[in-house]
Structure 1
Amino acid sequence: MENVQIRPFRATDVPWLVEQHGKYYARDEGFDASFGALVQSILEDFVASHDPARERGWISECDGERLGSIFCVALDGQTAKLRLFLLLPEARGRGLGKRMLDTCMGYARSAGYAEMRLWTHESHRAACALYRANGWQLLASKPVHSFGVDLVEQSWKIQL
């Protein structure tokens, strides 16, 4: 993982991101196709209308192979939202997730946000442990039925 870079997201990354989210969430969580459709919609909106002064996305890659993504978008004037944080299984456990999270949070600070929020599921234990270890606080947790499965949805925040 020495050659890993975290580069800016490009619109040409959209098909790969939709495919990877759909593939891994179906395999690991049992999600149905509605999840891939949601990712597609989020990315189309980002490409069409994000504010480049306050919103960014990044792709991690090694030797031209994409490994993951993370996005910082505006929730409101003072709050950023972390979105589409994905790290392929073969890239996990080597500190890349922390590097990506640090990149996103550092950008949010430099863009003038006072706080960040995110939405996830408790089944993402490694990601939740990473958030907690980096100062994020769990705001709420509730059972839901989404993407064809029963889940426990979580909301997290951190003061920047």
Structure 2
Amino acid sequence: MEKVNIRPIEAKDNAAIRKIIRTVLEEYGLDREGTAYNDPSLNDMTAFYQADGHLYLIAEIENKVLGGGGIGPLPNSDGAICELQKMYFSTDARGKGLGTQMITACLNAAKSMGYTQCYLETDPDMTVAQKMYLKHGFRYLDKAVGCTGHSACEVWMIKDL
């Protein structure tokens, strides 16, 4: 596989990453309310992730966006917990270690920003993603933390940083 470039999102990436996120959610039948599918931030991810405590990274090969992942403060938490957000990859990019590279980059950034825990929500059918999260030290929770607005996500995980 060619060299993967992981870098902060730029305005030129907005349409490509929005399409990847929505396509993956459609693939899993999650193109509905209570998921990231209709998040207003998808309209301009670059602007959304400029706020303090936020970062969104793009994975690309030869200027082709393959996916991305981000962190941001967990709404309605004490400020020490970030959320791993919108980590999705195109079908042709899966199984190549990009998830591991992305999650490592996001967690390192979260630590450097002073977060002490990282939280995420996902769908029960996203079993491959859950295996990766477990491998990176996340553990399951019995209930949601904070208030992400993603009521359709029924799997909650957290990791100490």
> TM-score when scaled to structure 2?
0.81
Q: Which has the higher helix share?
A: 1
Query: Taking CA–CA contacts closer than 8 Å with sequence separation of 6 or more, which of the two structures ends up with the larger relative contact order?
Result: 2
- Which residue is 1:54 aligned to? 53
What SS does the corresponding residue of 1:123 show, helix, strand or coil? coil
CA distance in 2: counterparts of 1:152 and 1:49, whole angstroms: 21
Q: Percent identity of the aligned residues?
A: 26
Matched, 1:117 2:134: no
CA distance in 1: counterparts of 2:90 and 2:31, whole angstroms: 19
CA distance in 2: counterparts of 1:32 and 1:51, whole angstroms: 26
1:2-151 pair list within 5 angstroms: 2-26=2-26, 28-32=27-31, 34=33, 37-39=37-39, 41-44=40-43, 47-48=46-47, 50=49, 52-75=51-74, 76=77, 77-140=79-142
What SS does the corresponding residue of 2:128 show, helix, strand or coil? helix
Cα distance per residue 1:107-145 (max 9 Å; x no partner) = 000110000101110111111000001110111369xxx
Give the length in aligned residue pairs.
Answer: 151
**Unaligned regions of 5+ residues in structure 2, if any?**
145-149
- Is the Cα contact below 8 Å between 1:5 and 1:61 reproduced in 2? yes
CA distance in 1: counterparts of 2:45 and 2:20, whole angstroms: 18
What SS does the corresponding residue of 1:3 show, helix, strand or coil? coil
> TM-score when scaled to structure 1?
0.82
**Unaligned regions of 5+ residues in structure 1, if any?**
none
- Is the Cα contact below 8 Å between 2:17 and 2:65 reproduced in 1? no
CA distance in 2: counterparts of 1:10 and 1:140, whole angstroms: 36
